[in-house]
Amino acid sequence: MIHDLAIIGAGPAGMAAAVEARACGLSVLVVDDNPAPGGQVFRAAEAAAPDPAVGPEIAPGLALIAAFRASGAEYRPATTLWHLDPDEGLLSLAGPQGVDEARARRVLLATGAQERAVPIPGWTLPGVMTAGAAQIMLKTTGAVPAGRTVLAGQGPLVWLLAVQLARAGAAPLLLETRSTGLAAALSQGGLWSGRRLLAKGLALMAEARRRGVRVVRPVRGLRAEGTTRVERIAWDGGAAPCDTLLLHEGVIPQTHVSRAIGVDHAWDAGQACWRPVTDGFGASSHDRIAIAGDGAGIGGWEAAVAAGRLAALDTARRLDALDAAGVAARSAAPLAARRAALALRPLLDAFYAPPASVLAPPDDVLACRCEEVTAGAIRAAARLGATGPNQMKAYLRCGMGPCQGRICAPSVAALIAEVRGVPPETIAPLRPRAPYKPITVGQLAASAESAQQPPQ
Amino acid sequence: MTARDAIVVGGGLVGAAIAHGLRGQGLDTVLLDEGDVAFRASRGNFGLVWVQSKGFGAPWYQQWTRGSAGEWPALAADLAARTGIDTALQQPGGVHLCLSEAEFDDRAARMARMQAEAGNHGFDHRMIRRGELDDMLPGLGPSVVGASFTPYDGHASPLALLQALHRAFTEAGGAYIPNAKVTGGSAAPHDFRVETAAGAFTAPRIVLAAGLGNADLAPVFGLNTPVRPQRGQILVTERAGTILPMPTTTIRQTGEGTIMLGDSMEEAGFDTRQAPPVMAQIAQRAALCFPWIAELNIVRAWSALRVMAPDGLPIYDQSDRFPGAFTANCHSGVTLAGAHARLLAPMIAAGALDPVLAPFTAKRFDVQTAA
Amino acid sequence: MFRPRPDARPATIEVLVDGTPVLVPAGASAAAAVLLAGLPAIRETPVSGSPRLPLCMMGVCFDCLAEIDGVANRQACMVPVAPGMRIARQHGARAARP
């Protein structure tokens, strides 16, 4: 069977798109590699909502998850997309039932965001995690770091997590790396349209202080120290004992699949990352592929919900399930919602711009955690003649390990740009190849049974 | 504009090996390369230093390949000494596994004929039956009936080789210039000029080693290189403890512990997309050879384009019209690296290809056309 | 190491982490079980043998690779726990097992 729309990712954008597309009468397949819907922001929402530590922020997702579950979309959790042929609309999947294929007239990538790597000295030590990882622990198990917890970095998630940990009785020491002054960020505007989100943010900061979160700012020169695990966090002019170090410098789009299939991407200077080029309804440079949510550029979950709905409406129009008037009528609300949700974004991007040392770390820091390649080795290879991450990967294996460059590729590109003295947008991103996530030789061999024979 | 003794066009394994060799001959050499995004067969190479299936019906190719395998230890030692990079060369011999009696018989006949063609050059090989093979390789699948073996075969890391060649060349004073795709050029005997994004270069010698790019470049310099792309796909597993003592034609364990599974031969033009059905066939054959491979994760896979002449053999030539213009084309950039650096480069430096390379001229295609 | 909050999320599923029984809440991942068990590392890298614990917990970093129910190199953060699940740390490269 051929689905009208296949959606990769059951986060806010994917769920909203599925609901809207089903309302337009389309047949929908949703593939997600997590065991439950929600994406990152609403991860395990159904189970976590009663927990007072995270409940207030996760509750808004419950209605969306319920609507998604009731939508009639075919939902395949715990299933990985390992190859996508955009020309044929052919998805190669691996899940609990083994390896199989699915076909769709249109494919929506709603792959969401990942945290920007924060390669500081000592960041591979056990006990150093991302802030998002600690939040996932809280949402999925209710657990909090034991002992002395330090939360270092900047961004909205830092304040949210500080509050959530404090509510759970584990208030961290917050080392804020923000160096942008408020005045510079305010010049980006958006205060009025974004006043609701701004108020939420200010309330979080107030709650953090009220709950006893101690804040040190601005912090530079962060380094995790310890022998077999993190024992101490040090910075220029200070240090503190530390059992768990949580790092965060914002989030970037997950573009692994969109880069692998070769749709156009553009450098987003404000967010210091690559994002796929999309129109207002999520259409990419490939006529079968749409991209919505944080995977198309960071905007937060409310913008993602709106973008998912818009991409679904555009799909319905393309498949003649909705006429232009219908699209106009149904897109007014999500267009307005997205405008409001994105109003504050330039201010946030400017306020929480990552420091240069995070983008291009010092020489002795491992930039590639899988193959254990230092920033210094990458700089040396850039001087030798690697002009981009693909040649760098060939020289040094950075990007060849299990994560396939998901963590190190932005650092590698930034290091090359620094050494060669060129702007970051001139370093084309790493080209990922299938399998997008590992599958076993046996799984792949089994798929040969059903697969059509290739032309010789 | 920069004047040099030699220009090498193409910074892949073929060009880099020749440039390294030319620098070793004392020539002031510039190596012009494309940028980060290039077809770059060298980045897709399987990594065999492989002799046993090379030169069926063309004993001169068998001889050249074997000569290269013989030069490899010296090349690897030279590169390690100059750069500290271990190219992970191992030459324990290699096997071609046969999955049916028909494959075994066909292989035996092929090896016998290659021995006959080799004349007094010799061709040391053995057909090995299942019982003996079980002592050589772990966990063979039930459908493996036997194998051919030659002691000449081995493998190395193509990526370490590429970096080591670039580094050794650079550290010996060679000029490696990336982002310098050749956009135009002009030729006169022993007087060549190329235009690139990184400026213009002149030299009395030029070597075209631009892989698939040679097809368009060659006529400018009075050469003919009718090469076409042939797609190959490769799968690589996660690192595993050392288990395979020698490479097979399509399965080898790298120095890092990953196991590479190859490969396909597809006529797909310049399309470098991956094809899951072909990947599945590769996985299937690998699991037939070694069933224990089935539980390993594939962490990477890719497709790349071989540089193929119409008869699959290399092309080496010097231009009649513009002496000093040479070209080198092959799909065995790793296997032939020893020969390119240590045998071919001295010939180019001396200004004439040795008669052993005469059969590799592209003029062989003119004859076929006329016939 | 993480400490549970049984009042918020009761631990109901018993798994074996490096052979030791650990109770964890339903919906936890195998990586979460390792963090709750307080293991000093979930693996030692095949490149240098350095110890690692999970970094991202969301399927991106692959630092949580572990042996789960006898299958090596699984992304522990993507595998939900099940009663009796055996989660074991890995030391260097996995074994190939003819």
Over B208-248, what HEC string results? ECCHHHHHHHHHHHCCCCCCEEEEEEEEEECCECCCCCCCE
Domains of chain B by range and CATH? 2-54+158-227+311-365 (3.50.50.60), 94-151 (no CATH), 228-308 (3.30.9.10)
Return the pLDDT at A455. Answer: 37
Domains of chain C by range and CATH? 19-88 (3.10.20)
For chain B, percent of residues with pLDDT exceeding 70:
98
Confidence of residue A454 (pLDDT cuts 50, 70, 90): very low
Note whether A308 and A17 are within 8 A (CB).
yes
Contacts of B324 (CB under 8 A, 6+ apart): B189, B190, B191, B192, B204, B205, B206, B318, B351
Predicted confidence (pLDDT) at residue B225 exceeds the cutoff of 80: yes
* Interface with C, mutate which of B239, B259, B298 (most C CBs under 10 A): B239
Which tokens in the block code for residue A212? Answer: 């006893």
Q: How far apart are CA C4 and CA A144, in angstroms?
A: 7
Contacts of A95 (CB under 8 A, 6+ apart): A76, A78, A79, A80
Return the pLDDT at B309. Answer: 96
Confidence of residue A453 (pLDDT cuts 50, 70, 90): very low
Query: Quick check: is A434 in a domain?
Result: no
pLDDT digits (tens, 9 = 90+) for B22-33: 999 999 999 999
CATH of the domain at A206: 3.50.50.60
Please tell me which residue of chain A has the smallest CA distance to C13: A141
- Rounded mean pLDDT, B145-174: 97
Query: Quick check: is A338 in a domain?
Result: no
What is each CA distance from B247 to A441, B262, B327, in whole angstroms?
18, 12, 31
Number of domains in chain A: 3
Q: Looking at beta carbons, which residues of chain C come within 8 Å of B254?
A: none
pLDDT digits (tens, 9 = 90+) for A281-329: 999 999 999 999 999 999 999 999 999 999 999 999 999 999 999 999 9
Q: How far apart are CA A56 and CA A59, in angstroms?
A: 6
Instruction: Give backbone dihedrals phi and psi of A137, rounded to 5 degrees, phi first.
Output: -60, -45
Interface predicted TM-score (ipTM) of this complex, two decimals? 0.98
Mean pLDDT, all residues of chain A: 95
Note whether C87 and C16 are within 8 A (CB).
yes
Which tokens in the block code for residue A302? Answer: 């409310």
Mean pLDDT, all residues of chain B: 95
- Rounded mean pLDDT, A85-98: 95
Q: Interior CA angle at A210 toward A209 and A215, to 5°?
A: 15
In terms of DSSP H, where are the helices of B290-362? 337-339, 345-350
Note whether B95 and B134 are within 8 A (CB).
no
CATH of the domain at A377: 1.10.10.1100
Confidence of residue A189 (pLDDT cuts 50, 70, 90): confident
Return the pLDDT at A197. Answer: 86
C93 touches chain B (CB under 8 A): yes
Q: Are A77 and A21 found together in one domain?
A: yes
Predicted confidence (pLDDT) at residue B371 exceeds the cutoff of 60: no
Please return the burial class of A284, using the count of CB atoms within 10 Å of its CB with bins 0-12, 13-18 and 19+: buried
- Tell me how long chain B is: 371
pLDDT digits (tens, 9 = 90+) for A395-414: 999 999 999 999 999 999 99
Pairs of CB atoms within 8 A across B/C? 33
Q: Are A132 and A102 found together in one domain?
A: no
Q: Are A239 and A262 found together in one domain?
A: no
- Rounded mean pLDDT, B225-249: 96
Confidence of residue A450 (pLDDT cuts 50, 70, 90): low
Handedness of CA B58, B64, B67, B72 (dihedral sign): negative
Q: Are A28 and A68 found together in one domain?
A: yes
CB within 8 Å: A395 and B294: no
Predicted confidence (pLDDT) at residue B184 exceeds the cutoff of 80: yes
Q: Are A201 and A164 found together in one domain?
A: yes
Q: What is the largest CA-CA distance in chain B?
A: 65
Q: Are A153 and A241 found together in one domain?
A: yes
> A179-193, A205-219, A429-443, B199-213: lowest mean pLDDT where?
A179-193
Return the pLDDT at B259. Answer: 98
- Domain stops at, among A249, A273, A295: A249
Range of the domain at A398: 360-426
Q: Are A15 and A162 found together in one domain?
A: no
Predicted confidence (pLDDT) at residue A456 exceeds the cutoff of 50: no
Confidence of residue B40 (pLDDT cuts 50, 70, 90): confident
Q: Are A6 and A82 found together in one domain?
A: yes
Confidence of residue B367 (pLDDT cuts 50, 70, 90): low
Residue whose pair of structure tokens reads 């969301």 in the numeric block:
C58
Instruction: Give backbone dihedrals phi and psi of C46, rounded to 5 degrees, phi first.
Output: -70, -15
- Kindly state the helix (H) or strand (E) to which residue A259 belongs, with its residue range: helix A256-260
Q: Are A125 and A173 found together in one domain?
A: yes
Query: Quick check: is A403 in a domain?
Result: yes
Query: Quick check: is A258 in a domain?
Result: yes
Query: Quick check: is A60 in a domain?
Result: yes
- Rounded mean pLDDT, B5-16: 97
* Interface with C, mutate which of A43, A139, A141 (most C CBs under 10 A): A141
Q: Looking at beta carbons, which residues of chain A come within 8 Å of C37?
A: none
Q: Are A26 and A107 found together in one domain?
A: yes
Instruction: Give backbone dihedrals phi and psi of C88, rounded to 5 degrees, phi first.
Output: -130, 145
Low-confidence residues of chain C: pLDDT under 70: none
Return the pLDDT at A169. Answer: 96
Q: Are A158 and A204 found together in one domain?
A: yes
Q: Are A7 and A82 found together in one domain?
A: yes
CB within 8 Å: C73 and B297: yes
Predicted confidence (pLDDT) at residue B369 exceeds the cutoff of 60: no
The count of other CB atoms within 10 Å of the CB of residue A182 is: 10
Going by C-alpha positions, the residue among A55, A81, A68, A90 that lies closest to residue A11 is A68
